[in-house]
Structure 1
């Protein structure tokens, strides 16, 4: 991964709604989620969701596919792997101190549901 690609990906993730969106898609796995389902889970309007989906798609972090009348979004796992590798190998010089903890030391993720936007 090149530096400009890493910066674009990190910039796209530096937003509460987009981070929640990615978390929802990761949990959905390879099947992904329809845009309407994402909007419902995150309590965001269709127009705001479209804005956030576009930012993540432009950064290469998510992909979309059409199934009948629905657009299904899923995480581009290889792009995330490349981003993590870039951060660990390039930025952190592969220092083992920066490896994530494993096992019971990993905190439980926060719930995905949020209060509706006003």
Structure 2
């Protein structure tokens, strides 16, 4: 992932409704959810949700697909994995990271 794509993904997630939408779609898994179910679950008006889904889609974090008369949205796990890899590629200065709970690079036993 390049810097511009990372910034776009982070910017898309830096809003409460979009972050909640993305997290809900992660929970839904590859099957995704219809926009109407997302709006119902999160209590977001359809007109607002449409804008948020567009932003997440433009950032490559979700993808829509047509199923009959419904549009189903699903999280793009590859994009999030690429973002996490981008954010952590220089973790601990190239040294193996310590287990969670220890400071990065600390020598505690």
TM-score (norm 1): 0.79
2:10 counterpart SS class: helix
Q: Map 1:47-58 to 2 at 5 A.
A: 47-58=47-58
Alpha-carbon distance between aligned partners in 1 of 2:63 and 2:70, rounded to the nearest angstrom: 14
| Aligned length in residues | 97
Alpha-carbon distance between aligned partners in 2 of 1:30 and 1:2, rounded to the nearest angstrom: 25
Determine the structure 2 residue equivalent to 1:115: none
Alpha-carbon distance between aligned partners in 2 of 1:78 and 1:94, rounded to the nearest angstrom: 20
Provide structure 1 residue ranges, at least 5 long, that are not aligned to the other structure: 103-118
Runs ≥4 residues deviating over 2 A: none
Alpha-carbon distance between aligned partners in 1 of 2:43 and 2:91, rounded to the nearest angstrom: 39
TM-score (norm 2): 0.85
1:38 counterpart SS class: helix
1:94 is matched with which residue: 71, 88, 91?
A: 91
| Deviation, structure 1 residue 8 | 0.4
2:44 counterpart SS class: coil
Alpha-carbon distance between aligned partners in 1 of 2:64 and 2:91, rounded to the nearest angstrom: 33
Alpha-carbon distance between aligned partners in 1 of 2:91 and 2:23, rounded to the nearest angstrom: 25
Alpha-carbon distance between aligned partners in 1 of 2:29 and 2:67, rounded to the nearest angstrom: 16
| Deviation, structure 1 residue 94 | 2.3
| Deviation, structure 1 residue 48 | 0.1
2:91 counterpart SS class: coil
Determine the structure 2 residue equivalent to 1:63: 63
